[in-house]
């Protein structure tokens, strides 16, 4: 092997960066190729607002002229403002099963982070904790849901051989929406609905900016004490609103108010991976037509709930639990009415026991584990 790792600065290297997973997962029936156009925009500083508060370097490993691995290294100024711990991040780690390739990629990322005066590294984050995050360490036998990563079992082994250790696990739960709410939970939801203090409504696309700001305000408050939390910026919120406008109808999202104040929200998304598995990432020449037909002609087979939150002042209270159940049930009822029966609830921190217990009581089953690794650089 004639191995070299280069900074992906030019068009050819950035294209190779995006094509690496197609080589690595060529024989894995559970991998779903992401849409090339979306991935190109995600790594483009002019298109992704993440770059406005971060420095990023992409790397590609070549064996002669064949791309065999990739990684990113990033220094997120916004994260360091909230967590002044000297940690940088790595992400987009994909490579063939060769310890030399993994070692060379991680060495390149670590050297770049050291030059940025960072003393430790965590990952993978693609690019942020608010994007795809964590390395799949169990649940390889099923395809990933949208905006969730995929990996092969040897990834974790190579990382651990290079001195990386577990920082945190997060879980994805499979949820069968056909199961009715347990009687006690249904009673909680019915009680707050009839109390006159709680109002539950869907998103209003006619007032999209207003409602997106409500959702993110609740999110930034509800999640603010979570491990490694980073708030979303105004530009990131605007980008989220643009994507939601294209992907979802109003009822995919539920907002609950308590005594007139927005207090809880739940956001669901169609699992696009069900619709794009046979496109190999390409919308041209005919992929766009197939995707558009699938989006318009039928409900998704499954959905993912990536965001659910209740304001912190209601955490640990019966009202907080009832608000969470109410927004989840509003979204669940909508999808059931359309014929969608399964959902993924993800991701959930391993130590978020109140939420894990609630999902388990609802009938959710933990079926994938994603691990965030870390390593000291000094």
Judge if 216 and 138 occupy the same domain.
no
Please state whether beta strands 3-7 and 165-176 pair in parallel, antiparallel, or not at all (unpaired): unpaired
In a domain, 245, yes or no: yes
Q: Answer with the one of 171, 205, 231 that is the final residue of a domain.
A: 171
Q: How far apart are CA 240 and CA 368, in angstroms?
A: 25
Judge if 130 and 230 occupy the same domain.
no
In a domain, 136, yes or no: yes
**Cis-peptide, bond into residue 347, ω within 30° of zero:** yes
Q: Answer with the one of 171, 196, 222 that is the final residue of a domain.
A: 171
Judge if 31 and 164 occupy the same domain.
yes
| Rg of the chain, C-alpha, whole Å | 21
Host domain of residue 303: 179-340
Q: Say whether pLDDT at 284 is over 70.
A: no
Q: What percent of the chain has pLDDT above 70?
A: 95
Q: Where does the pLDDT of residue 239 fall: very low under 50, low under 70, confident under 90, or very high at 90 and above?
A: confident
Tokens 């909508």 appear where? 334
The conformational region for residue 111 under phi > 0 = left, psi -120 to 50 = alpha, else beta, is alpha
In a domain, 243, yes or no: yes
Judge if 197 and 299 occupy the same domain.
yes
Mean pLDDT for the chain overall: 92
pLDDT of residue 177: 77
In a domain, 291, yes or no: yes
pLDDT of residue 294: 58
Q: Say whether pLDDT at 7 is over 90.
A: yes
Judge if 154 and 94 occupy the same domain.
yes
Q: How does pLDDT run across 243-282, given as a tens digit for each residue?
A: 777 778 899 999 999 999 999 999 999 998 887 777 677 6
Judge if 167 and 144 occupy the same domain.
yes
Q: Say whether pLDDT at 291 is over 80.
A: no
pLDDT of residue 289: 53
Q: Where does the pLDDT of residue 169 fall: very low under 50, low under 70, confident under 90, or very high at 90 and above?
A: very high
Q: Say whether pLDDT at 108 is over 90.
A: yes
Question: What are 367's two structure tokens?
Answer: 């079926």
In a domain, 328, yes or no: yes
In a domain, 376, yes or no: no
Query: Which residues lie closer than 8 Å to 222 by C-beta, 6 or more apart?
Result: 309, 310, 311, 312, 315
Tokens 């037909």 appear where? 293
Q: How far apart are CA 113 and CA 129, in angstroms?
A: 18
Contact of 108 with 85, CB cutoff 8 Å = no
Q: How does pLDDT run across 47-101, given as a tens digit for each residue?
A: 999 999 999 999 999 999 999 999 999 999 999 999 999 999 999 999 999 999 9
Tell me how many domains the chain contains. Answer: 2
Q: 94 pairs with which residues across the strands? A: 70
Judge if 143 and 185 occupy the same domain.
no
Give the global pTM: 0.94
Judge if 163 and 210 occupy the same domain.
no
Q: Answer with the one of 150, 171, 192 that is the final residue of a domain.
A: 171
pLDDT of residue 282: 67
What's the CATH code of the domain at 30?
3.40.630.30
Judge if 211 and 257 occupy the same domain.
yes
Strands (E) across 150-231 are located at 165-176, 198-202
Judge if 280 and 328 occupy the same domain.
yes
Q: How far apart are CA 201 and CA 185, in angstroms?
A: 20
Q: Where does the pLDDT of residue 287 fall: very low under 50, low under 70, confident under 90, or very high at 90 and above?
A: low
Judge if 205 and 328 occupy the same domain.
yes
Judge if 24 and 142 occupy the same domain.
yes
In a domain, 150, yes or no: yes
In a domain, 283, yes or no: yes
Q: Is 284 exposed, middle or buried (0-12, 13-18, 19+ CB in 10 A)?
A: exposed
Contact of 322 with 192, CB cutoff 8 Å = yes
Mean of pLDDT values over 132-138? 97
Mean of pLDDT values over 308-333? 94
Contact of 31 with 150, CB cutoff 8 Å = yes
pLDDT of residue 237: 83
Q: What is the dihedral of CA 160, 163, 166, 167, to 10 degrees?
A: -150
């Amino acid at each position: 092997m004639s191995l070299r790792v280069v900074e992906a600065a030019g068009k050819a290297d950035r294209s190779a960066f995006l094509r690496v997973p197609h080589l690595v997962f060529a024989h894995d029936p559970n991998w779903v190729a992401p849409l090339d156009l979306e991935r190109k925009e995600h790594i483009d500083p002019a298109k992704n607002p993440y770059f406005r508060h971060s420095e990023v370097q992409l790397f590609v490993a070549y064996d002669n002229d064949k791309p065999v691995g990739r990684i990113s290294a990033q220094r997120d100024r916004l994260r360091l403002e909230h967590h002044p711990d000297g940690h940088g991040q790595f992400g987009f780690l994909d490579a063939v099963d060769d310890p030399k390739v993994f070692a060379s990629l991680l060495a390149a990322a670590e050297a770049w982070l050291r030059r940025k005066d960072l003393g430790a590294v965590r990952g993978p984050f693609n690019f942020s904790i608010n994007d795809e995050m964590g390395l799949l360490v169990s649940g390889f036998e099923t395809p990933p849901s949208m905006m969730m990563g995929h990996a092969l079992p040897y990834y974790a082994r190579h990382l651990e051989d290079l001195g990386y250790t577990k920082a945190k696990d997060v879980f994805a739960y499979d949820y069968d929406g056909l199961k009715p709410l347990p009687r006690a939970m249904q009673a909680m939801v019915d009680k707050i609905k009839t109390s006159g203090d709680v109002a539950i409504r869907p998103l209003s696309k006619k007032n999209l900016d207003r409602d997106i700001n409500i959702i993110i305000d609740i999110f930034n408050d509800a999640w603010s004490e979570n491990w490694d939390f980073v708030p979303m910026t105004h530009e990131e919120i605007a980008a989220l609103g643009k994507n939601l406008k294209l992907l979802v109808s109003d009822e995919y999202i539920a907002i609950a108010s308590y005594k007139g104040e927005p207090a809880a929200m739940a956001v669901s998304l169609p699992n696009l991976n069900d619709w794009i598995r046979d496109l190999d990432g390409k919308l041209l020449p005919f992929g766009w037509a197939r995707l558009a037909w699938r989006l318009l002609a039928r409900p998704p087979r499954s959905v993912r709930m990536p965001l659910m939150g209740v304001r912190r002042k209601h955490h640990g209270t019966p009202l907080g639990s009832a608000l969470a159940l109410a927004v989840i049930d509003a979204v669940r009822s909508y999808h059931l009415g359309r014929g969608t029966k399964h959902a993924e609830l993800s991701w959930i921190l391993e130590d978020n026991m109140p939420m894990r217990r609630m999902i388990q009581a609802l009938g959710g089953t933990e079926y994938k584990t994603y691990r965030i690794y870390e390593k000291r650089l000094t």
